[in-house]
Amino acid sequence: MTQEMDWWAFERVFAADGWRVVCGVDEAGRGCLAGPVFAAAVVLPFGLEIDGLNDSKLLTPLRREALFDVITEKAVTYAVASASAAEVDAVNVLNATFLAMNRAVEKLSPQAELVLVDGNQAKGIQYLCRTIVGGDGKSASIAAASILAKVTRDRYMRRLSAEYPEYMFEQHKGYGTVLHYEMLRKYGPSSVHRQTFLKKMH
């Protein structure tokens, strides 16, 4: 952790208010054309310093993998869950994200007393929560969740590439890259593509 950044500022405020088990929640893959949206929920030991912890988007894949191991080893409790591409199509991606987040929080033991959610929307969260805009770059708990969600989803998309090698998921992880669109034009969508995200292609 950088010295000038207080990764525990938010958690410290809530701890002072009496909240003992505070978890951070974040998602990965919300903007993808294919695959599930993943969410992670993490409760860290209060004040734990994890060297190099940051918003997952600012880290290299190698660094994220290394931090994944540290976080899962040292967390009080953590869980990762997902909502499928079919669920994204059925209820829209925002509601599917809430589904994944609720599923992750539900699996925590001990159960979280307060959930810190990255972003500014939490209307679909079934637990007592607070939103923090840019939380993955401000809160240790949310940053940890962002890493677990991102790494787990990337691993899933690499496995999916073995089933659907023609789409090269291992390269773009389902995001709307030039390569992905090229493969979609060549082969058409698969059962793991989000049909509602592909309408603009037709």
Nearest to residue 144, comparing CAs of 72, 61, 38? 72
pLDDT at 16 over 50: yes
pLDDT tens per residue across span 27-70: 999 999 999 999 999 999 999 999 999 999 999 999 999 999 99
**Per-residue H/E/C for 63-110:** HHHHHHHHHHHHCCEEEEEEECHHHHHHHCHHHHHHHHHHHHHHCCCC
Q: Mean pLDDT score of the chain, rounded to an integer? A: 94
pLDDT tens per residue across span 123-156: 999 999 999 999 999 999 999 999 999 999 999 9
Between 200 and 191, the higher pLDDT residue:
191
101: exposed, middle or buried (C-beta count within 10 Å: 0-12, 13-18, 19+)? buried
pLDDT at 157 over 90: yes
Is the CB of residue 72 less than 8 Å from the CB of residue 78? yes
**What was the pLDDT predicted at 200?**
63
Distance CA(143)–CA(149), nearest Å, equals 10
Report the amino acid identity of residue 77: T
End-to-end Cα separation, the chain, in angstroms: 46
Residue 133's Cβ-side half-sphere holds a number of Cα atoms within 13 Å equal to: 1
Token pair recorded at residue 119? 């972003």
Beta bridge partners of 39: 27, 81
**What was the pLDDT predicted at 161?**
95
What are the structural domains of the chain? 9-201 (3.30.420.10)
pLDDT at 1 over 70: no
**What was the pLDDT predicted at 102?**
98
Query: Which band of pLDDT confidence, cut at 50, 70 and 90, is reported for residue 202?
Result: very low
Token pair recorded at residue 177? 């890259």
27 known member of a binding site:
yes
Per-residue DSSP letter, 196: G
Per-residue DSSP letter, 126: -
pLDDT at 164 over 90: yes
**What was the pLDDT predicted at 2?**
43
87 known member of a binding site:
no
Is the CB of residue 129 less than 8 Å from the CB of residue 24? no
Answer whether 0.85 is exceeded by the pTM: yes
51 known member of a binding site:
no
The owner of tokens 């607070």 is: 130
